[in-house]
Amino acid sequence: MTDPTDFTALTDDQWAQRLTPTEFRVLRRAGTEAPFTGEYTDTTTNGVYRCRACDAELFRSDAKFESHCGWPSFFTPLAGERIIERRDTSAGMARTEVLCANCHSHLGHVFTGEGYDTPTDLRYCINSISLTLAPAE
C-alpha cells in the first residue's frame, strides 16, 4: 500500500481523486491557467503560499511582487530546497520549470534578466491554482 505522506509515490489515478480536473491538468500535467484569472494574481494578503497538491510551504507573501504578467510572481522561494527547477523545452521555447520538491507537482516557471526592481533578478511566475494561501495570524 502507498504511504499517503509519500506524495511522489501517488499514481495518476490517486492524484485525479485528490485534485479537481483543472488542478490535475496544471499540477500533474504541467498545464497553465489563463492569465489574469487566478485567485492570487492580485492578492496582497500577508502569509505563506503552499502547494495545493501537498500543502508544502513554498513562498512567503513578502517575496511576492506585481509583475503585471497575469500570474502571481515571487522573487525567491521560501527556501531553495522547497522547489525543483528543471529545463523545459515544451511550447517551442527553452524555459525553467518550477516544481514542488515535496510532491513534484508543476507550479510554473522561473525567468531571469527581466529588469524588475526586486532583490533578485528572478521572477517565479506561478499558477494560482498550484497554490493555497495561509494568511498570517
Three-state secondary structure of 35-82: CCCCCCCCCCCCEEEEECCCCCEEEEHHHEECCCCCCCEECCCCCHHH
Nearest Cα residue to 42 out of 65, 60, 76, 63: 65
| Amino acid type, 126 | I
- Write down the residue that cell numbers 500535467 correspond to: 29
Q: Taking a C-beta distance cutoff of 8 angstroms, is the pair 100, 51 a contact?
A: yes
Cell of 6: 509519500
The catalytically annotated residue of 51, 54, 100, 125 is: 125
Note if 51 is an active site residue.
Answer: no
Which residues are the active-site residues? 125
